[in-house]
Amino acid sequence: MGLSELFGRATSNQSDFPFKLSDAQWRERLTPEQYQVLRGHGTERAGSCALNYEKRAGTFSCAGCGQKLFKSGKKFESGTGWPSFDQPLEGAVETSEDHSFGMRRVEAHCANCGGHLGHVFPDGPPPTGLRYCINGVAMDFEPAGEAETRS
């Protein structure tokens, strides 16, 4: 799906998401930085998150609700200072138009809780040509095989 198709999709309403918490519950569940990004549509400082440098096989999930978002094989080095992916897991990430800061951008958010993840840009690698530029603080990482070793 190209960026023009992402712009054409309907904007989701925060009340439309399956996973819902009150503001107080979100503040209790998340660190202040996670809350600022996921609930306040903030952006972490470029290069500040260890997940930008994560190279192991595994799955990146939403730090707010645990929804699996991206497989590590879809991650690439964009040189931007934020984890970048060319494709999310099917149905895991939704998009909406973002007109903040006088720009027209495509916002990426968790399809389960609506948490702000980052933005989508049309400068990614083939085959999608998209770059999901994601705040690392908005995600958790689970290395491949870790789930199988837990009892």
The residues annotated with a catalytic role in the active site are: 133
Strands of the sheet containing 84-85, edge to edge, are: 75-76, 84-85, 131-134, 116-121, 105-110, 93-98
Name the token pair of 100. Answer: 């903040």
Q: How many residues does the chain have?
A: 151
CB-based burial, 40-68: b 16+ in 10 Å, e otherwise: eeebbeeeebebbebeeebbbbbbbbebe
Strand-strand pairing, 75-76 and 84-85: antiparallel
The dihedral over CA atoms of 83, 80, 30, 22, expressed in degrees to the nearest 10, equals -100
CA distance 62 to 148: 20
